[in-house]
Amino acid sequence: MIIVDRALKQREADGQPIRVGFFGAGVMARGLAAQINRSVPGMMVSAICNRTLQRAADAYQFSGSSAPISVTTQNQLDDAIRQHHPAITDDPQLLAGSEELDCLVDLTGSVDYGAEVAKLSIARGKHLVLMNAEVDATIGPILHAQARQSGSILSCADGDQPGVQMNLYRYVKSLGFIPRVLGNIKGLQDESRNPTTQADFARMWNQNLTMVTSFADGSKVNFEQCIVANATGFTTAQRGMLRMHHDGHVDELTTRYDLDELRRLGGIVDCVIGARPSPGVYCLAELQDHGQARYLELFKMGCGPLYSFYQPYHLCHLETPLTIARIVLFGDSCGQPVAGPALEVVALAKRDLRAGETLDSYGQYMTYGQVERATCVREQNLIPQGLVEGCLLLTDVPQGSPLRWQNVKPASDKLSHQLYAEQNKMFRS
């Protein structure tokens, strides 16, 4: 959105920067703080909330900011923001309750903590950017619905693959095309990967081990494509998506799909392994006005009936300030569910699971996630991958099998489970 840069420069000239608060202080938070404080005019990171205060202070230090002050009360936080002094806290209620903050960002990747901070933010009418695909895919529809009722905006983020795909989707539609496939390009998917196999990679890039494992075992891309499906009404061709391997350019995928089937389904989300350019995203679309076909051939777009559009990269936190500005300055979301869940991400056994075991989270040793149609999730009583952590197994579950609620004693006291139950009730039809 090119208009954003001028609007931000005006905020800078007026001395009214957009004031941003973070939940979380990991790798992405450090990068985003540095991007905003060093490279984005008209915006500043005013507060960071993290369970460990030192990590929040480290994020500010990485960004080149002055040393933050630790605050424990609402007045202390608000005074610091008014004085343009960076603040840190371990109390998420302070960020949600501050009238001095214009937008909040969840960078945690935790479903349980993400549910808590989203609920707090919505209750106070605060805008919230979700760089937390796990919470968005699991309970996003109910959270977005509640946010609209409170007058606030929740949004996925520019730079994350769902946000990049949603921008491409809107662009392609604006040209008069009908999107049929929204896809994610990956280099590796192996459901057997676990924190032991991914430890060296995580150390090399100073990445969170759970997150890195979720990239490799496929859970992450399924969370991402679930968000895209819920924001467009698209579905999946099968559980876990088609996930074909293609050793070639993404443009060549126009011949790999059955257009009649895509039309019947109304559009699908998918991912492809090994295609170039990686790690980009793609949209395959057909013309609405077939009178333009000859022009597209002239423009080297091919002969159709499917045409390829793609972005060869996603720049994660470098692009997220665009979402913050879109929300605060223009009331525009990067992506939100259009209604209830079209897809959900269900948990499957990564190994043979035994009765009496307590399940760990996504990106660990016991389960991985794949997208499934929400109607099937209801019919088969399947458990979302975002809710498995802490559930006690009552029965054995063979490797590769989906987990069902009758297999476990759930951790039902968690807010995330309560919100999921509300979501099912709200969107039962």
- Cα separation of 210 and 283, whole Å? 29
Q: Which of 220, 161, 184 is nearest to 363 (CA)?
A: 220
364 contacts 358 by C-beta, under 8 angstroms: no
DSSP strand pairing (177-186 vs 154-155): unpaired
345 contacts 221 by C-beta, under 8 angstroms: no
The residue type found at 125 is G
CA angle centred on 315, ends 309 and 319, rounded to 5°: 100
Beta bridge partners of 287: 177
Give the per-residue SS3 of 69-114. Answer: EECCCHHHHHHHHHCCCCEEECCHHHHHHCCCCCEEEECCCCHHHH
- Cα separation of 193 and 186, whole Å? 15
- Cα separation of 227 and 111, whole Å? 14
Q: What structural domains does the chain harbor? A: 3-160+318-330 (3.40.50.720), 161-314 (no CATH), 343-426 (3.90.1210.10)
So what's the pLDDT on residue 205?
Answer: 87
Give the per-residue SS3 of 191-244. Answer: CCCCHHHHHHHHHHCCCCHHHHHHHHCCHHHHHHHHHHHHHHCCECCCCCCCCC
- Cα separation of 413 and 421, whole Å? 11
* Count, residues in the chain: 429
pLDDT tens-digit profile, the chain (429 residues) = 579 999 999 999 999 999 999 999 999 999 999 999 999 999 999 999 999 999 999 999 999 999 999 999 999 999 999 999 999 999 999 999 999 999 999 999 999 999 999 999 999 999 999 999 999 999 999 999 999 999 999 999 999 999 999 999 999 999 999 999 999 999 989 999 999 999 999 899 888 899 999 999 999 999 999 999 999 999 999 999 999 999 999 999 999 999 999 999 999 999 999 999 999 999 999 999 999 999 999 999 999 999 999 999 999 999 999 999 999 999 999 999 999 999 999 999 999 999 999 999 999 999 999 999 999 999 999 999 999 999 999 999 999 999 999 999 998 789 999 999 999 999 986
The residue type found at 103 is C
So what's the pLDDT on residue 5?
Answer: 95
Q: Which of 333, 319, 389, 385 is nearest to 28 (CA)?
A: 319
So what's the pLDDT on residue 1?
Answer: 54
